[in-house]
Amino acid sequence: MATEAQIEANRRNAAKSTGPRTPEGKARVRRNATRHGLCSGIARMAEEGPEFAEDFKLLLEDLREEHQPNGPTEDILVYKMAQSVFFTDRASVLLADKLNSNDHPDALPHISLMLR
């Protein structure tokens, strides 16, 4: 059990700690609590903006309209189709970036891993 002095010290310290105030500070700590993002709608890299999620949503809606999934299994398959398209496109872009940076000696192991 905390003493009254400890409780009062905690209150004084908490009053000083109000979090980031500037937009840069808020942006820096925005994802502090994110551990892996595996449970999000679709995993996004930090440099991919909100338009990425919107593009994915539009593709998913188009695929659902085209295939009209009947039941959860078919809906999962349509979702996986959309996910596969986005992840394949991302992998292509990342591979092209690595191939363009072939002047770095550490690029070769990354390229061989990406090709697998």
**For 49-70, how does the pLDDT look when each residue is reduced to its tens digit (9 = 90+)?**
777 778 888 999 999 999 999 9
Query: For residue 79, what pLDDT is reported?
Result: 92
Domain count, the chain: 1
**pLDDT recorded at residue 54:** 84
Domain span at 98: 4-115
Residue type, position 3, single letter: T
3-state secondary structure of 69: coil
Q: What is the tens place of the pLDDT at every residue in 92-112?
A: 877 777 677 666 666 666 666
C-alpha 86/C-alpha 82 separation (Å) is 6
Residues 6+ apart with CB under 8 A from 19: 29
